[in-house]
Amino acid sequence: MQCPICGSTRFRDKNTRTNAECVVCWSLERHRYQWLVMRRMDIVRPGRRTLHCAPEPHLVRHFHAFLGNDYVPCDMTPDRYRDRLVKVQRLDLCEGIADIGDGSFDVVIMNHVLEHLRCSVEATLRHVKRILRIGGQFMFSVPFDGPGTRENLDLGLAAEERSRCFGQADHMRIFGTEDFPDLCARTLGVCRLLRATEYFSRAELENANVPMDIVDRLTSHATILYSKSTPH
């Protein structure tokens, strides 16, 4: 097994998953799978301006090396990034995204971000669609638990209760596998679950240490793609 992002062959257990995390770049299964997808589909490449929201700290330098000035990493709390070579810009998706101009980016990447927002997910997704150029793509993933989405924006909710309901103390919601496709359809349009079997052999995924069964269906590890083909 070899990490497709950094080339490491060393992995360690993460939570309850065996050998899930790369020892060198800290990538998890979903990071390695999305990297493979981006390279196979040639979505992220120099010349395509890419907005990476709440970028995984261990992946920022890899994306910057690949994209150069076309890479725009952003986070609500950029001070937590201590990479001296790459500047992470401040962006509050609940407010600041409205100030980004129409058609500003070719690619938007947003992994396990929407569950943290203390505002309307629908409004945020509509802004994502707006800031994409025609022909642009939005790649994202979210955590799922059960068929229906559950949400509580009350900031007074105890951390223990929030963890019990949504999986983490800083989660405002957890998404449902049955109603999430409808949310995507009414805010973005046609979205695709990038099924592993359409792009990779089992051997390719095993070599990248990505279990096929967790990325070939709608799970917290899967990658969803929206491609913008019309202005609205």
How far apart CA 214 and CA 198 sit, in angstroms, is 14
Q: In the predicted model, is pLDDT for residue 31 greater than 80?
A: yes
pLDDT at 232 over 80: no
Q: Which residues pair with 135 in a beta bridge?
A: none
Band (pLDDT 50/70/90 cuts) for residue 16 is confident
pLDDT at 141: 96
Q: What is the pLDDT of residue 127?
A: 97
pLDDT tens digits for range 124-180: 999 999 999 999 999 999 999 999 999 999 989 999 999 999 999 999 999 999 999
Going from the C-alpha of 106 to that of each of 33, 143, 196, the distances in angstroms are: 20, 25, 23
Per the prediction, the chain carries an average pLDDT of 92
- Per-residue pLDDT band at 60 (split at 50, 70, 90): confident
**pLDDT tier at 49 (50, 70, 90 boundaries)?**
very high
- C-alpha distances (whole Å) from 71 to each of 68, 131, 167, 181 are 6, 15, 31, 29
Please state the rounded mean pLDDT for residues 172-200: 95
Domain residue ranges in the chain: 11-227
**C-alpha–C-alpha distance, residues 209 and 220, integer Å:** 16
Helical H runs in the chain?
A: 29-41, 60-67, 121-131, 159-166, 180-187, 202-207, 212-215
- What's the CATH number of domain 11-227, 3.40.190.10, 3.40.50.150, 3.30.43.10, 3.40.50.670? 3.40.50.150
Query: What is the tens place of the pLDDT at every residue in 64-97?
Result: 988 999 999 999 999 888 777 788 999 999 989 9
Report the pLDDT averaged over residues 27-36: 92
